[in-house]
Structure 1
Amino acid sequence: MWRVKRSIRTYRDNPAWHHYRKTAPPEWVNQFGVPGHPFGTCRNHARNVLEGQVRGYPATLFHLAAVRKGGRYGTDVNMYSIAVLTLPTALPDTSVSTGTLVYRLRSDPLPPHAGKPVRLPSGRRPRMIKCSVDPAFAELAITEEVVRMTADAKAGWRLHGHHMIGWISGRRPYEKIVSLAETMTAILGELPASVWRAGTGDRSSGER
């Protein structure tokens, strides 16, 4: 915990990270496609919101308590560290995650308004959860290298409109979340140029 507190002090005073908030309103996270992974189905608490840039992408980092109904005490809380990158264009709703990261959420990977997801085979260990509303996009985007990078980072990520949302377990120092964001930029770098040019971000079945 002391590492997290020290990290917060360091980053919030760093001029490269221009905006820090200790808490965010509960509805603030809705812009990222709630209740898709990794968000809870009944409440979400975002803390230590930090905004800046990672490798040229506008980035938002925060700690998330994702709450769902169920569990021994009536609700179950899952803690994540989140990185969100803002993309130059919208891409089809897609999700890739190590299974252990999202198993306890007991929820669908994509928000209901995203459209009907096509489940993709895991094909490797650790078990991966993969789906997309656009199978043609998924075939281009979710390569073996992308899956390997996600698994090696023990992470998950999801495309939602102009956002790429990434998560790792627990409440981590910002250094770890920045590393996650850098992995996300590397994954984006694996996408073929045709994905960005073809207007696949139309999201005709997605959110309005």
Structure 2
Amino acid sequence: MQSSTWLILLVAVVAGVGIAYFKFYTAKKRRELFAGVAAQQGWSYVPANYALAGQWSGTPFQTGDNWRVTNVLSGPYNGHQMVAFDYSYQTHTTNGRGQRRTTTHRFGVVVLQLPGALPHLEVTHEGIFGGAVANAFGFRDLQFESEQFNRAFRVKADDERFGHAVVTPRMMELLLARGEIGWRFEGNSLVGWDRGNHDPAEVMNRLWLLQQVLENVPPYVWRDYAGVDPRPQQPQQPYPQQQPGGPTYP
């Protein structure tokens, strides 16, 4: 074998080792970062808990394969149980020459536990499809009096009456100002997510946003749809803990 070929192989090996070490070092520092945040907040931290991947059914869960749940934070947050983690899954495509390509999709997920189960409601950004374009293709979503909100967000609800009861003018104002992630009610969970791994500061910001969403749900909605009244006396009291039958929070 020619010396130039050996040199190429040597460079490739060194580059491969360097990339592997960089990934290892980055993952290690990330684990240390989240473990430190858990200690500061009085939460628990585990490097991985893949069982969480099967507890929710909407975006970004239940698609692709090789589901991974890592850097899991869990504990109390202003009267609620919370869990936050890195989530990833893989999809595969094959080109015309039979070559297989694997793509890893990464998300940062935060979840707040609800005092009772609510109907399914999902709020996401319109993305590359504006409301008018998407509706023309049959992707209908709820429409509200604010055209600015309609252009910015897509709202899907199994019960339209419930959707309009939750997305009040105050809720729209909140989301237009701070609605940077997608979120939905799924059973007794409020799930928030966004693409890419999140950092501790983003975790705290997203938990704050989810709490504001909960606080802007009118009390009659909780009574009519969940059969609970989380704020019977003092509006600032924390919600009760999880009702039986919902997801298990670590």
Q: TM-score range by the shorter chain?
A: 0.7 to 0.9
Assess if the C-alpha contact under 8 Å between 1:4 and 1:172 holds in 2: no
Distance 1:134 1:67, change over 3 A: farther
Aligned partner of 1:128 in structure 2 is: 153
Helix, strand or coil for the counterpart of 1:39?
coil
Deviation at 1:21, TM superposition (A): 1.3
The 3 A distance-change label for structure 1 pair 170 and 88 is same
Q: State yes or no: 1:149 paired with 2:171.
A: no
Alignment CA distance shift 1:29-1:127 (3 Å): same
TM value normalised by structure 1: 0.74
Aligned residue in 1 for 2:54: 30
Deviation at 1:88, TM superposition (A): 0.5
Question: 1: CA distance between counterparts of 2:160 and 2:42?
Answer: 38
SS for the counterpart of 2:37 is helix
User: C-alpha displacement at 1:83, in angstroms?
Assistant: 0.7
Which protein is bigger by CA-based radius of gyration?
2
Task: Look up the SS of the partner of 1:7 in the other structure.
Answer: helix
Q: Is the 8 A contact 1:99 1:128 kept in 2?
A: yes
Query: Normalization by structure 2: what TM-score?
Result: 0.63
The higher relative CO (CA closer than 8 Å, separation ≥ 6) is in: 1
Aligned residue in 1 for 2:5:
none
Q: Which residue of 1 aligns with 2:113?
A: 86
Give the aligned CA root-mean-square deviation in angstroms.
Answer: 3.0
* 1:80–1:167 CA contact under 8 A, matched in 2: yes
1:195 aligns with 2:217: no
**Aligned-pair distance for 1:118?**
7.0
Secondary structure at 1:188's aligned position in 2?
helix
- Displacement of 1:176: 1.1
3-state DSSP class of the match of 2:211? helix
Q: Is it true that 1:181 corresponds to 2:207 in the alignment? A: yes
After superposition, what is the alpha-carbon deviation per residue over 1:144-198, rounded to whole angstroms, capped at 9, x for unaligned? 4424433534111011100000113321212211210111110111111111111
1:65-144 alignment, distance < 5 Å: 65-70=88-93, 74-100=101-127, 119-121=141-143, 123-124=147-148, 127-144=152-169
Q: Give the Cα–Cα distance (whole angstroms) in 2 for the partners of residues 196 and 164 of structure 1.
A: 14
Contact 1:146 1:187 survives alignment (8 Å): yes
Q: Structure 1 residues 172, 134: closer, same or farther in 2, change over 3 A?
A: same
Gaps of 5+ in 2: 1-25, 129-138, 228-245
Retained in 2: the 8 A contact 1:150–1:156? no
Structure 1 residues 124 and 15 mapped into 2: Cα distance closer, same or farther (>3 Å)? closer
Name whichever structure is richer in strand by fraction. 1
TM superposition shift of 1:23: 1.0
Instruction: Tell me the residue number matched to 1:58.
Output: 81
Aligned residues: 183
Q: Letter of the 2:54 partner, please give it.
A: N
Q: In the TM superposition, what whole-angstrom CA distance separates every residue of 1:101-150 from its partner, at most 9, and x where no partner exists?
A: 9xxxxxxxxxxxxxxx9732484366322101111110110234424433
Query: What 5-or-longer segments of structure 1 have no aligned partner?
Result: 102-116, 202-206
In the aligned structure 2, how far is the partner of 1:64 from the partner of 1:100? 21
